[in-house]
Amino acid sequence: MSQVFESKKEAAGANGTAAVVVSVQPVLSTSTSTPEPAAVSKSSSNEATRTTDAETTTATETATPNPSLPTNTTTTTTTNDISTPTLRETTHIAIIGGGIIGLITALGLLHRGIRVTVYERASKLTETSAGFSFSSGARQAMSHTSPRVREAFRKVAAPNPYPFIRYFDGFTPGVEEPLWQIPAERPDYHGCLRAAFLEALGAEVVSAGGEGVLRFGMNLEGFEEIPDQAEGEEGKVRLTFGDGSVVDVDAVIGCDGIKSRTRQLLLGEDDPAALPGFTHMVAYRAVIPLDAVVAAMGEDKGYSHCLHVGPGAYTVTYPIANNTLSNMILFSKTSTPWPDANKLLASCLRSTAQDAISSWKPDIRSLIDLLPETPSKWAMFDMSAHPAKSYTRGGRVCVAGDAAHASTPFLASGAAMGVEDAAVLSTVLETALAKPDTSKAGEKGAAISAAFRAFSALRLERSQMVVRYSREVGEMCMWQNEEVGRDPERCFQEIWRRYSDVWESDIGEMVEGARRECLALLEGEKSIS
């Protein structure tokens, strides 16, 4: 991919630093997954009319012919005049973790007639009220997973109504024009409250799988893979929970987040990849009435997706909840070690966040003044220092989402990677479990193993690329990257390249590639991994 850059020097600020306003018209050389955007105007005007693709997605559903098949109901296929259920219809999969990715994965499997139970350690579905957003590619992955996922998101999400995602200098006096701006139609972000999306997904899971599909208060302590028995009995995975209960299932998908117990058990607690590492970056997050943000920053910035960059920190604001609220985040670098790796959230005083940008422009300082008196401070952990070598061990257990590849949020793609995981897992399990269940020992285990190995082979490189890129983008936006420093044009080139690698992925081809990989493994051909 190449880019056509255009820049001009603006008047120097008080410290003699001149801003470079960079506009870009990307020239796509190979990708067909994202339409070529129109040229970007240097004007900061955001007047435009755009439409949502919530009702116009063209993603091809890869579901079974009978997507409405209810859970716990066994249908049969006819092979040589003998009615036999498929492996898909006799398989029970446990999903560890009832967060957003766990529920999306559950809906993908239920959509294909695979029985699932979601085990969540909390007493109910819980999520912070922070907002987040999904690009058009992530929403295509939702559609490939299940129409119920896309419908749940449509109910709670709102598009960014303005045509550009703009980056401003939040520090240098006198520099007011955007440093650079990205056509919003490229990622086409739609934002929502995490809690609202989780609630909508939970309702869809119960509707598709019945009341027993969600189990609460289930804190995973261990698992044991029980091998196939000589007398023909299929192997299982035996789960043990904190309340003393024991459950046998055919397979396990760990979606239990950045502190994943499933990952620790799968890799072994001595494996460096078993635990995430602290990035020495923290985030102060809040959902604020949009009117208050507009009052602090003006309508032009308040109603759009804006980032303000500067030394050691940067801010992100964008509208959510049908343009009634704003998701506001202040990211900040810190030299202080995080006190407890088991707790990623701590309370602090608002003054702590204010101190991080005490020398910034007045409008940005007034934005931080909108934080509650005791805001939450989030530690940014990720898997960049010690990435997992595989998301499965070749058996009946795998990890997905943050449990597999926890990322910082600087590329706005961590959750999207989890949605892509769900689409791929649903596809490979549907493919591997399609043949009739002959009750032959080892047959189901081999199919599940092939599916999980195909999933890992297809997802490892891309998901870990996002972990690495996200960390780098955060450093660039905080002027902490030695390679680009404070050079706006150089910084933009490097950030744009990383975003483009994420946005230009062909989701449909990814899913079909996973299907082909799974079939190759089932047929004994060499894996691409």
Residue-wise pLDDT for 150-178, tens only, equals 999 999 998 877 788 899 999 999 999 99
Mean pLDDT for the stretch of residues 496-502: 94
Tokens representing residue 47 in the block: 């007047």
Q: Where are the beta strands (DSSP E) in 18-109?
A: 20-27, 77-79, 82-84, 92-96
Domain C-terminal end among 382, 406, 421: 382
Q: By mean pLDDT, which of 38-42, 185-189, 444-448 is the weakest?
A: 38-42
More confident residue, 480 or 52: 480
285 has catalytic annotation: yes
Q: Helix, strand or coil for residue 9? A: strand
395: pLDDT strictly greater than 90: yes
Instruction: Report the CATH number that the domain containing residue 361 is assigned in CATH.
Output: 3.30.9.30
Mean pLDDT for the stretch of residues 221-228: 94
Name the phi and psi angles at 146, rounded to 5.
-170, 140
CB 484 within 8 A of CB 490: yes
Write out pLDDT tens, residues 317-366.
988 888 899 989 999 999 999 988 888 998 899 999 999 999 999 999 99
Amino acid at site 155: K
Q: By mean pLDDT, which of 136-150, 427-441, 459-473 is the weakest?
A: 427-441
Say yes or no: 399 and 473 in one domain.
yes
318 has catalytic annotation: yes
Write out pLDDT tens, residues 468-494.
999 999 999 999 999 999 999 999 999
Say yes or no: 240 and 134 in one domain.
yes
Say yes or no: 375 and 389 in one domain.
no
Say yes or no: 314 and 351 in one domain.
yes
Is position 31 within any domain? no
Instruction: Report the CATH number that the domain containing residue 449 is assigned in CATH.
Output: 3.50.50.60
142: pLDDT strictly greater than 50: yes
**pLDDT tier for residue 526 given thresholds of 50, 70 and 90:** low
136: pLDDT strictly greater than 90: yes
Q: Which helix (H) or strand (E) holds 308?
A: strand 305-310
Strand partners for 169:
309
Is position 363 within any domain? yes
Is position 176 within any domain? no
**pLDDT tier for residue 25 given thresholds of 50, 70 and 90:** very low
Question: Which residues contact residue 142 at a Cβ distance below 8 angstroms, ignoring those fewer than 6 apart?
Answer: 104, 134, 149, 150, 153, 419, 423
Say yes or no: 286 and 238 in one domain.
no
Is position 49 within any domain? no
Residue that the structure tokens 């985030």 belong to: 283
Mean pLDDT for the stretch of residues 87-96: 97
Domain C-terminal end among 334, 360, 382: 382
Say yes or no: 267 and 296 in one domain.
no
Say yes or no: 316 and 215 in one domain.
no
Report the mean per-residue pLDDT for the chain: 85
Q: Helix, strand or coil for residue 189? A: coil
Instruction: Select which of 189, 314, 318, 499 is catalytic.
Output: 318
- Is the sign of the CA dihedral 156, 256, 460, 475 positive or negative? positive
Say yes or no: 369 and 486 in one domain.
no
Q: Which domain holds residue 214?
A: 87-160+187-276+384-523
Domain C-terminal end among 359, 382, 405: 382
- The number of domains in the chain is 2
Is position 180 within any domain? no
pTM of the model: 0.82
Q: Which helix (H) or strand (E) holds 140?
A: helix 136-145
Predicted confidence at residue 522, as pLDDT, reads 94
Say yes or no: 124 and 247 in one domain.
yes
Say yes or no: 272 and 418 in one domain.
yes
Instruction: Select which of 139, 285, 459, 515 is catalytic.
Output: 285
Say yes or no: 363 and 402 in one domain.
no
Say yes or no: 101 and 113 in one domain.
yes
Mean pLDDT for the stretch of residues 500-522: 95
Is position 15 within any domain? no
